[in-house]
Amino acid sequence: MKRLIVILISIFLLGSGLWAQADSPAAGSSAGVVSEIRRDEGGLRLFVKGEPFEVKGVVWSYIPIGENYTYNLWDQPEDIIKKMIDRDARLMKDMGVNAIRVFSDVPPKWITYFYRQYGIYTIVNPLFGRYGVSARGIWYPLTDYSDKYSREVIKRDTLEVVETYKDVPGVLMFLFGNENNYGLEWDSGVIQDLPVGQRSEVRAGYLYSLFEEAIAEAKQISTAHPYGIVNGDIQYLNLIEELVPSLDVLGVNTYRGGAAQDLFYQSVESLGVPIVYTELGAEAWNAATQQEDQFNQARYIFEQWREIYQQSYGKGKSQNVIGGFVFEWMDEWWKHLQTENLDVHDTEGTWSNGAYAHDAVPGVNNMQEEWFGIVAQSPRKDDGIHRRIPRAAYYLLQELWKLPLYDSSSTDVADHFAAAASSSVLARGEANGIKEEEAWNPISLQGFTARVEGRIAADDQTIAADWMTDAAFTNGQELTLTLGLQPLDNLTGFTTLKVWANPILPAWGEAPKYLGYDDTTGETDGHINLYAGEFTYSNDLFDLTGYYRSGRPDWMLHGDAFNLMPEAWDRLGMDKDGSDAPLGLQLDGKQALQGLRLAIGPEVYWGALPLVAANYYREFTGDGVTGSFGLMYLEEFAARENAYPGEIPGRRASLSGSLGIGPYLFAEAGVLFSGSESVGETFYQSGPADEPGGGVNGSDIAVTEDTIDYLDTLAFKVRLGTDIIRYTRIWAQYLQAGLVAAGNPMIPRSGFQVADSGAGNRREINAGARFIYGDFTAEGIFRWRKPLVDPMTAVGSYTLRSNLTDPFAVYWNRETIEAEVVATFDPEGATYFHDWNVQDRENAKIAASLSFLYTFYAGPTDAGVFKAADGAWFAFPSGLPEASGLWTLAGKVYSNPLPGLKINFDGRIGTQQSTGESERLVNFIGLGLDMRYRNLFIGGGADFSAWGPEVWHRQFNITYPLQWHGEIAYGFDTPSMMTTETRIGLAASGRSFGTYSADDEPGEGSLNKFTLYVDLTY
């Protein structure tokens, strides 16, 4: 079989013209050999500049708390980079580290800085398509190493790295990939034709043949350093031997607990090249005891390095190990959820490994990716960098590495390790370690914000006169405290309190309801508020989370096709409305309960009635086939004070599923039952009379009475699509919802301005396409919608329907023809351009998006509804008329042109309609520009002839000729582009008044406000 695979791979390579001339004489361009492998009777050693070099390294992790994989250290100001390197390299040097391995491309100048300042070398490690490749304008998350174009791109990029770094002082060697043999998951026609058992090995053959091509051609660029690969353990060792004859070093990532067992013997017999451990180690969290466990982390690392010494040069065994890199230098707080809880040190395991027997429990993931550091990082900072807290393993390695790897005997190794085992490293680690920084305490201070504001408000007449005397002055002081709670190891949570002397009010708009603020007296009904809280109880079968105003994601990725459980993140909007959402409990099943989700509470999302919800969702994968199914059941069991008047407690259920067959077809379908509570209710509908004058009161309009039946409670939708067209996905969806078959509105995503309304009484066709080429994405959607029952025509004593008095109404489901296109350029794949926090996280030199929406409302509406200031609901006297020529053009540009400099721009222009009853169309323009240079923030924007910021501004068609804002601030830390935390600043804003301003506002002139604030957030 092995020979057959080699022959197949060779035929492929010869046929495609890709076989590298490995036997050609090297023509390296370097000045001379920097590092090389030498063999003698004692075994194999690495030499650097003619001297033996023992690799005593770490995998350097540096991502700060609160950041994730999108963080790019090398885009930071130079002094920040230097501080980060100096903080870690000093500790590394004291420990005995002489080499690092990094998962990012370290710029040449900083490799040299590591080397010249601290004597630490760097492995240059291009990832070789491990996490995807972009070929012919398409991003492939699963790299196909048999594809000609993908091979060309990977080899080209790898050789460019060699060309860039070949003469850089401080480079130790070149290693390609990162356990790529664990990512051989692509399918192709050739692969699919093979028996299932042979597919993985054939895929691996393509991978290792490409490794050989890259190494052979790299040696023609430079022979100054050894070349190797980073393999996942010793899988496919037979193919490495056959297909990679140019290999100089085998890098191995292995997690075999305390002993590698047969690893050394197999490798020395087959390859004849040295091994360097590119990853080995253990995590410092015990999944069984749910506690930090420095002892077992140090114990495993002790055993691993004892075996490295025993198998190294001159010991009479395999004699082929040149050292290793401990994984990893520092804890990374982002690795569990990757985009969530970035400031939480999660303890949930992400994979299981029985080789670490001390906490191996069947069915439990015992490997905690966020706890592998031999140093911890503290939330506290010194000079802008999180504190490093060495663990016991740090001090252990400091002792172990004092013994030479090569120039020691087996007896020396035994004696030295016996002495180190009885040393006090564990006591040093625990005394100096994370217990000091994160000591267990049932109550701890997780964060606080102290904010003080002073504001001056003056109209244009006051400013022109004696504004220092006549202007209105207000001030506010607020303290926000977040207390961490951990009464038990598996019960954690937090609570947030707000305390104020004078309330801090928004410059414009409504005060948060929790203040109990009276705008006539300027007083509040208290000075302390339990603002938010959350707890999580975890065991083997489930996680139970309690929410109180803390935010909760929707269930749409868990089989909720009609958004029956929408997200609850809009804290600002809910504060103004007085909502306590999310308020309730949620259970997420694990192991035997995997896929089960339950929720109960008085307001689990904004506006929800008291309810209980149950959901079951599972995904499956097969041979080129993927699929899922989801069940939802929701029972509302009581009314709620101040709830929407038209709502009555009821029940809803949905069933959904999906199926994908390679790139050829994906299908999604869902069915909704919205409960029987409205069945039997009557409603009126209008239409043309049978004959002129034969309608109501002699008009041409007739009105008939009808009732809601069970079919009116049902909705279904079907979506079909395909990816078979290169660069393109196309899809179409049909939805039909009965008169009262409503879900909840969805939130626009991916840069779109409009999303599904969730309304009943409609049939709707959507069709779309997405085109992706390289860094450019274009996506478009066409929507056609028509209500099953048209809006009422007011005639005689018959009025328009509204959701306050009728079982249904025509509003968001009105007859519509709509088209929308979004074009995005984003060369930074690690950050999603349309993510909620992209203003802070986008790392590209320049990224941009442009969206265009055109809408034709082909029919009128019934009466819309609004909520008055006292909380009462009312219906407008009339509906909205048909409207054409509605459009919006919106754009965003995010740029990082220089280290430390970030520039964000956004703009919008268009013509749109009110959401109340006004016939007047609004032509508006808006612009915004924010800039940050290191700790300095300057930003501002202006809107012309636009609605105000509140929902009711658009409902009542209230617009202002000009609304503007500006701010200049200095951050005590790097200031956010989204919030005003941790800085001192001056903010100014204003608006001018005109014909269409609010009734209680002047018809001309302006009002301007200037706010000086200080915000200290920890």
User: What does the DSSP assignment read for 340-357?
Assistant: S-TTS-----SB--TTSG
Least confident of 7-16, 806-815, 910-919: 7-16
- Rounded to the nearest integer, the mean pLDDT of the chain is 89
- Please identify which residue in the block is written with the tokens 């290793």: 324
Query: What letters, b where the CB count within 10 A reaches 16 and e where it falls short, cover 433-464?
Result: bbeeebeeeeeeebeebebbbebbbbbbebbe
CB 1014 within 8 A of CB 984: yes
What mean pLDDT do residues 872-884 have?
Answer: 94
**Could you tell me the CA-to-CA distances from 690 to 281, 698, 699, 701, 794 in Å, in that order?**
84, 12, 11, 9, 18
Could you tell me the pLDDT band of residue 263, with boundaries at 50, 70 and 90?
Answer: low
414-425 confidence digits (pLDDT tens):
999 998 876 666
β-strands 762-773, 321-326: how paired? unpaired
469 confidence band (pLDDT: 50, 70, 90): low
Take residue 324 and report the two structure tokens written for it. Answer: 């290793």
pLDDT of amino acid 447: 82
Map out the domains of the chain as residue ranges. 43-438
Indicate the DSSP class of residue 975: P
Question: Of the ranges 64-68, 157-161, 245-249, 266-270, which one carries the lowest mean pLDDT score?
Answer: 266-270
* Residue 636 burial by Cβ neighbours in a 10 Å radius (0-12, 13-18, 19+): buried
Mean pLDDT within 976-1002: 91
Q: Give me the sign of the Cα torsion angle 293, 298, 303, 305.
A: positive
Chain segment 719-754, per-residue pLDDT in tens: 999 999 988 999 999 999 999 999 999 999 999 999
SS3 state of residue 885: strand
SS3 427: helix
Closest by Cα among 817, 975, 930 to 883: 817
Least confident segment among 63-67, 394-398, 442-446:
442-446
The 3 state secondary structure assigned to 647-681 is: CCCCEEEEEEEEEEECCCEEEEEEEEECCCCCCCC
Q: What is the mean pLDDT of residues 137-143?
A: 85
- pLDDT above 80: residue 267: no
Dist. CA 337–CA 543, nearest whole Å: 15
Q: Place 431 in a pLDDT band, splitting at 50, 70 and 90.
A: low
Is the pLDDT at 42 greater than 70? The verdict is yes
Instruction: Report whether 294 contacts 319 (CB < 8 A).
Output: no
Burial of 661 (0-12, 13-18, 19+ CB in 10 A): middle
Supply the pLDDT for residue 407. 96
Q: Does residue 617 register a pLDDT over 80?
A: yes
Residue 924: both structure tokens together: 């508006």
25 — pLDDT class (breaks 50, 70, 90): very low
| Neighbour tally for 195: CB within 10 Å | 7
Residue among 472, 453, 450 at smallest CA distance from 461? 472
Conformational region of residue 951, where left means phi above 0, alpha means psi within -120 to 50, and beta covers everything else? alpha
CA 231 to chain centre: 28
% of the chain residues with pLDDT over 70: 91
Q: Are the C-beta atoms of residues 276 and 282 closer than 8 Å to each other?
A: no
> Using CA atoms, how far apart are residues 142 and 152, in angstroms rounded to an integer?
16
Residue whose pair of structure tokens reads 């961490």 in the numeric block = 484
For residue 358, which of 442, 299, 434, 273 has the smallest C-alpha distance?
299
pLDDT digits (tens, 9 = 90+) for 677-725: 999 999 999 999 989 988 999 999 999 999 999 999 999 999 999 999 9
Confidence of residue 868 (pLDDT cuts 50, 70, 90): confident
pLDDT band at 816 (very low <50, low <70, confident <90, very high): very high
Residue 436: pLDDT band (50, 70, 90) is: very low
Which segment, 15-24, 84-93, 101-110, 563-572, is predicted with the most confidence on average?
84-93
**pLDDT digit string, tens, across residues 51-81:** 999 999 999 999 999 999 888 899 888 999 9
Considering only CA atoms, which of 840, 848, 844 is closest in space to residue 822?
A: 848
Which pLDDT score is estimated for 348?
A: 85
Alpha helices in 555-637 (DSSP H): 571-577
Q: What is the pLDDT of residue 23?
A: 32
* pLDDT of 613 higher than 90: yes
CB 705 within 8 A of CB 801: no
**Per-residue confidence (pLDDT) for residue 16, from 0 to 100:** 42
Region of residue 521 (phi > 0: left; psi between -120 and 50: alpha; otherwise: beta): alpha
Distance CA 843, CA 636 (A): 45
- Of 359, 358, 393, the C-alpha closest to 281 is 393
% pLDDT > 90, the chain: 69
| DSSP code per residue over 798-818 | B----TTTSS---STTS-EEE
Distance CA 1010, CA 1013 (A): 10
Question: What is the reported pLDDT for 196?
Answer: 45
Structural tokens at position 746: 């969805």
- Whether the CB-CB separation of 976 and 1009 falls below 8 Å is answered with no
Residue-wise pLDDT for 218-260, tens only, equals 999 999 999 999 999 989 999 999 999 999 999 999 999 988 7
Q: What is the dihedral of CA 403, 405, 411, 415, to 10 degrees?
A: 30
The pLDDT tens digits of the residues spanning 766-813 come to 999 999 988 999 999 999 999 999 999 999 999 999 989 999 999 999
Separation of alpha carbons 372 and 331, rounded Å: 6
Given this model, what pLDDT does residue 762 score? Answer: 97
| Domain 43-438 top-level CATH class | alpha beta
Rounded to 5 degrees, what are φ and ψ at 576?
A: -65, -35
Closest-CA residue to 581 (of 556, 602, 560, 558): 602
What is the DSSP track for 113-167?
HHHHHH--EEEE---TTTT-EEETTEEESS--TT-HHHHHHHHHHHHHHHHHHTT
pLDDT of residue 515: 85
Report the alpha-carbon distance of residue 80 to residue 562 in Å, rounded. Answer: 47
What is d(CA 825, CA 776) in angstroms, rounded to the nearest whole number?
A: 5
- How many CB atoms lie under 10 A from the CB of residue 925? 13
| Structure token digits, residue 390 | 């060495």
Q: What share of the chain is helix, strand, coil (3-state, %, to 5)?
A: 20, 40, 40
**Rounded average pLDDT over 187-193:** 48
CA 690 to chain CA centroid, Å, is: 59
Q: In this predicted model, which residue has the larger pLDDT, 15 or 214?
A: 214
| Tokens, residue 786 | 């028509």
pLDDT of residue 426: 65
